[in-house]
Amino acid sequence: EVQLVESGGGLVQPGASLKLSCVASGFTFSDYWMSWVRQTPGKTMEWIGDIKYDGSYTNYAPSLKNRFTISRDNAKSTLYLQMSNVRSEDTATYYCTSLRHTTAYWGQGTLVTVSS
């Protein structure tokens, strides 16, 4: 069974940093481009960025490029999202997903709430 399990969300103060993780199982993680997508409380979906299967290349949404960093550890089948200088508008549920593949797996999401 394919599973993507995100963790690391929670309540954080504006300006803080946070690192999300996504552990994959049930498929060959190292064969897949992986993405992060977030969904705001109003249900708007926003692509954050993605990373090539070997970790050698990343793409980011231009508005987030300077604050968010995506990485991966294929030996641990884990995807990461490093968030820095978070703002209230970053409040959302964050999903890891193999978005670009015809077998587009999605995790259950982890909620990040930015508030003082």
List residues binding another protein (CB under 8 A): 35, 43-47, 59, 61-62, 95, 97, 99-100, 102-104, 106-109
> Is residue 69 helix, strand or coil?
strand
> Is the CB of 22 or the CB of 83 nearer to another protein?
22
Judged by beta carbon, residue 12 or residue 48, the one nearer another protein is 48
- The nearer residue to another protein, 44 or 116, going by C-beta atoms, is 44
Q: How far is the CB of 31 from another protein (least distance, A)?
A: 16
DSSP-derived secondary structure for 5-63: EEE--EEE-TT--EEEEEEEESS-GGGS-EEEEEE-TT--EEEEEEE-TTSS-EEE-TT
Considering the complex, what minimum distance in angstroms separates the CB of residue 18 from another protein? 20
Tokens standing for residue 29: 């993680």
Measure the CA angle with vertex 23, ends 18 and 29; round to 5°.
125
Q: Quote the least distance from Cβ 25 to another protein, whole Å.
A: 16
SS3 89: helix
Q: From the CB of 88, what's the least distance to another protein, in Å?
A: 21
